[in-house]
């Protein structure tokens, strides 16, 4: 499984290195991440840990058959079949219809999945947090630098679902599509908390990873001002990469 994820992560980074011109051309339509943004996000995440136990207690005290049904449906949004069908499907459709943007979106789905998965697995290993079903009375149970794919923080499900929702929503660019996609992603995250698979902070950070990965892959966010690498083909067929930074 780790080899599979590593392969997908590699695909994501390679795609960033040869990003289609359609995505790179948005030089006036991107958000540049600054050095203090990760610090602010970390501070916000630290505060969220204080509400993990109350939120878990609330949903465990308010279970119902209706909510069970909603949760069971929402859980399916994270199934591998969803993005496996979405990515090749979009690429194939784009090729058939001769629509490069559609094909590009399929590749972005795959790349953002790989990038968000890599971020998620590295964090799981570092924190090794137990799931609420395992330690319901202790939301701060961590096995530092001894985690695996089954640990709780962050939620891999949320990372995957939000990366897909963000990629497709940005590609479509319509409010109705965005509302529908993000509603599905939020419901999936909620189902993980409702079913005691994750603490609230787990799904919040998973969502952050998914959105960030998708935005970086499609060029809408830039890391510390770095533009995505531009592939340049010279007059004699020589290929090179050009990097630039804005302040």
- State pLDDT tens for residues 38-84: 999 999 999 999 999 999 999 999 999 999 999 999 988 877 767 66
State the CB neighbour count (10 A cutoff) for residue 239.
9
Using one digit for the tens of pLDDT, what is the confidence trace for 104-160? 788 888 888 889 989 999 999 999 999 999 999 999 999 999 988 889 999 999 999
Q: CA 228, 107, 34, 140 torsion: positive or negative?
A: negative
State the CB neighbour count (10 A cutoff) for residue 46.
10
The Cα 233–Cα 75 span in angstroms is 46
Tell whether 123 is covered by a domain. yes
Which of the four pLDDT bands, split at 50, 70 and 90, describes residue 169?
very high
Tell whether 162 is covered by a domain. yes
Tell whether 155 is covered by a domain. yes
Tell whether 217 is covered by a domain. yes
Tell whether 150 is covered by a domain. yes
CA distances from 68 to 31, 48, 156, 177 (A): 39, 25, 21, 26
Using one digit for the tens of pLDDT, what is the confidence trace for 171-203? 888 899 899 999 999 999 999 999 999 999 999
Q: Which domain holds residue 88?
A: 2-242
Tell whether 247 is covered by a domain. no
Whether the Cβ atoms of residue 158 and residue 210 lie closer than 8 Å to each other:
yes
| DSSP-derived 3-state class of residue 134 | coil
Tell whether 112 is covered by a domain. yes
pTM of the entire predicted model: 0.81
Number of domains in the chain: 1
What's 158's domain CATH number?
Answer: 1.20.144
């Amino acid at each position: 499984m780790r080899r599979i994820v590593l392969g997908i992560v590699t695909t994501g980074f390679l795609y960033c290195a040869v990003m289609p011109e359609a995505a790179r051309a948005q030089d006036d339509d991107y958000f540049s991440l600054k050095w203090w943004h990760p610090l602010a996000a970390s501070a916000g995440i630290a505060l969220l840990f204080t509400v993990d136990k109350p939120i878990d207690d609330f949903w465990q005290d308010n279970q119902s058959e209706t909510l069970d049904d909603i949760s069971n449906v929402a859980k399916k949004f994270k199934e591998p079949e969803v993005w496996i069908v979405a990515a090749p499907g979009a690429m194939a459709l784009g090729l058939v219809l001769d629509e490069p943007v559609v094909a590009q979106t399929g590749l972005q789905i795959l790349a953002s999945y790989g990038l968000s998965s890599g971020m998620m697995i590295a964090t799981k290993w570092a924190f090794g947090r137990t799931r609420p079903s395992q330690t319901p009375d202790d939301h701060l149970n961590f096995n530092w630098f001894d985690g695996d794919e089954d640990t709780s923080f962050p939620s891999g499900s949320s990372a995957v679902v939000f990366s897909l929702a963000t990629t497709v929503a940005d590609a479509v660019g319509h409010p109705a599509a965005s509302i529908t996609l993000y509603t599905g992603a939020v419901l999936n995250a909620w189902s993980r908390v409702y079913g005691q698979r994750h603490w609230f902070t787990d799904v919040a950070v998973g969502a952050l990873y998914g959105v960030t990965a998708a935005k970086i892959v499609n060029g809408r966010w830039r890391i510390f001002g770095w533009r995505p690498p531009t592939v340049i083909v010279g007059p004699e067929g020589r290929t090179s990469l050009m990097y630039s930074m804005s302040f």
